[in-house]
Amino acid sequence: MNIPDCVKSDLQNCGYPQLFGSRSMALRPAVERFDPAVMIGSQISSSTDWDFSQQYSDEIHRYLISSGYAAYGRESLGAYADDLTVGVYIKEFHPAFDWNHLVPYSTDDVVKVNIVLHNNEKLFRRVWSRITPEFYYSHLWKRSPSYGSIDDLYEIKSTITGIMNQLYAVATEE
């Protein structure tokens, strides 16, 4: 999974946030009877968001705002705000329009990037690195079959946020 060129300079200029989420998990090696490339990666499309995380700083916050990212502070995230999330910054990268041929582009061509800034990125990374692809697939992925009977995305995300907060609490004690 190559990061689109249109995104690379933004990532470089804000200190190279690290990939996480389904794209990150799909890259992990297969374990026993679980292959994340098949179970998760096969469901990733060009329209799947790119999720990155980084330590919060005022400088990074200002850079993301000045670069056109929409900022969503913790108070506006609702169920999406776990104990470490300070804010989520979202930007859509649209392909260059072909004025010579006036060919419209598909929404599949739009690259959506989410950068999550944490108040303790070191703790987030420690927890993220220990999550197995199978656990992610079963409990932390919004598309998990475990959540198939739940129609409300807010309810799913609330459950996931609760699990992540429990993982942070246990990791903090180590």
What are the backbone dihedrals phi and psi of residue 151, each rounded to the nearest 5 degrees, phi first? -90, -20
- Token pair 């689109």 is at which residue? 4
What ranges do the domains of the chain cover? 5-172
Q: How confident is the model at residue 174 (pLDDT cuts 50, 70, 90)?
A: low
Helix (H) or strand (E) holding 55: strand 50-55
Residue 82's CB is within 10 A of a number of other CB atoms, namely: 20
Alpha-carbon distances, residue 94 vs 4, 104, 113 (angstroms): 11, 11, 11
Decide if pLDDT at 29 tops 80.
yes
- Token pair 């995380």 is at which residue? 53
In the chain, the largest separation of any two C-alpha atoms, in whole Å, equals 60
* Dist. CA 118–CA 86, nearest whole Å: 5
pLDDT tens digits, residue range 43-85?
998 889 999 999 999 999 999 999 999 999 999 998 889 999 9
The pLDDT, as a whole number, for residue 105 is 66
* Dist. CA 31–CA 29, nearest whole Å: 6
The pLDDT, as a whole number, for residue 21 is 94
Helix (H) or strand (E) holding 22: helix 22-26
Decide if pLDDT at 171 tops 80.
yes
* Dist. CA 99–CA 90, nearest whole Å: 27
Decide if pLDDT at 3 tops 90.
no
Look at the alpha carbons of 153, 154, 157, 159 in this order and tell me if their dihedral is positive or negative: negative
Alpha-carbon distances, residue 83 vs 28, 75, 120, 121, 123 (angstroms): 25, 12, 9, 11, 11
pLDDT tens digits, residue range 95-123?
766 667 666 666 667 889 999 999 999 99
Decide if pLDDT at 173 tops 80.
no
Prediction pTM value: 0.89
